[in-house]
Structure 1
Amino acid sequence: MPNNSLSLDNYLPFRLSVASNAVSTLISSAYDSLYALAIPEWRLIWVLNEDGPSTQREMVQRTGMDKVTVSRAAHSLAKRRLVTRSPHEHDGRSHHLILTPEGQRLFNDVAPSAGEFERQVLEGLTETETALLKDVLRRIETAAIERRRHLEL
C-alpha cells in the first residue's frame, strides 16, 4: 500500500524542479530566439561579467552545472567569439574563460530582458515575499550542499 502522507505535488524536490523547469523553459525560448543563447551559455556569460575570468572548474562550482554542460557551453561561446580561453598560470590542463568585448556587448543587450523576465515571474509576490523566497532558496541550496559533503565523507 502506498504511503499517502507523502504527496508528489507537495514534495519539495519535485516542486523546486518543476518551478525551475517552468522558469528555465520560459527564459530559454526567449534567449534562444532573440540571442541564439542556451541557458548554460547565458549563465557562463553572466558569471564572467560578474566575477571576471574564471576556470571551467570555478564555473561548475559557481553555477551548480555539471562539468560536461559547462564545457559544452564554454566551447559554444568560444566558437562564437563571446569568450576566449587563456592558459592557467598554475595548471597546464586548465584555462581561464574571459568575456570578449563582443560577449560583454551581448551581456549588456540581454541583461535588461533577464531582469524583465524575473520581474514578470515574480509579479504576484510582494517585495518582502520575493526577498524571503530568495533567502529560503539560498538556505536550501546551502543545506543540500552541506548534506552532500557530509555524505561524501
Structure 2
Amino acid sequence: MPRLSLDQFLPYRLSIASNRVSGAIATAYQALFGLKIPEWRLVAVLAEEGAASQQALGVRTRMDKMTVSRAALTLVERGLVTRTANPADQRSQLLSLSASGRQLYDEIAPKALAMEAELMAGFSDAERERLTGYLVRLEQAAERIGTGHS
C-alpha cells in the first residue's frame, strides 16, 4: 500500500503555494489600499464583468455567501461599490463599482500585474502557459470529483 508523504501530496503542495502567494499579496493590498483579498476579488470581478448580484459574485469567485456578503458590505460602506435593484430578481440587488471603486481598480490592477510578474519571473513563457493549462485541468478534475462525475 502506498504511503502518504504530505510534502509530495499535491493538494497539500497547492494549498501551501496558494497560502504563501495569497498571504504576500494580501499584505500588499492591505498596506497599499486597505483591502482584504475577498474585497479585492469583488472589485476585480465587478471591474471586469460589470454589475452582478452577490450570488453571481460568489459563484464567480468561489467564495461562500458570508464572505461575499461581508466583503460587499465593506466595499459599499467605503463608497467603492453601489447597490441597485436587480430588475431580473426583485429579491436581490446588483453591485457595481462606483467611480471611486473604478479609480481604485485602475490603481491596483497594474500593481497586481507587477506582483504576478515578480512571482513568475523564474518561469519562461512556455512554462507559464503550461502551468496555467495544468491548473485549469486540475480545477476541472476537482470539479468532476466534487460533483461525482469522474
CA drift of 1:6 comes to 1.6
Unaligned ranges ≥5, structure 1:
none
Counterpart Cα distance in 1 of 2:17 and 2:91: 37
Give the TM-score normalised by the residue count of structure 2: 0.94
Structure 2 residue 8 is the aligned partner of structure 1 residue 10: yes
CA drift of 1:77 comes to 0.3
> What is the aligned length?
149
Aligned residue identity for 1:71: S
Q: CA RMSD in A?
A: 1.3
Aligned residue number for residue 125 of structure 1: 123
Q: Percent identity?
A: 44
Aligned residue number for residue 69 of structure 2: 71
Unaligned ranges ≥5, structure 2:
none
CA drift of 1:81 comes to 0.7
Match of 2:82, SS?
Answer: strand
Aligned residue number for residue 30 of structure 2: 32
Give the TM-score normalised by the residue count of structure 1: 0.93
Aligned residue identity for 1:87: A
Counterpart Cα distance in 1 of 2:146 and 2:91: 27
Q: Deviations over 1:76-103 (max 9, x none)?
A: 0000010011111132221111011110
Aligned residue number for residue 140 of structure 1: 138
CA drift of 1:4 comes to 6.0
Aligned residue identity for 1:106: L
Of 48, 52, 55, 1:54 maps to 52
Q: Deviations over 1:104-149 (max 9, x none)?
A: 0000000111001101111111111111111111111122122212
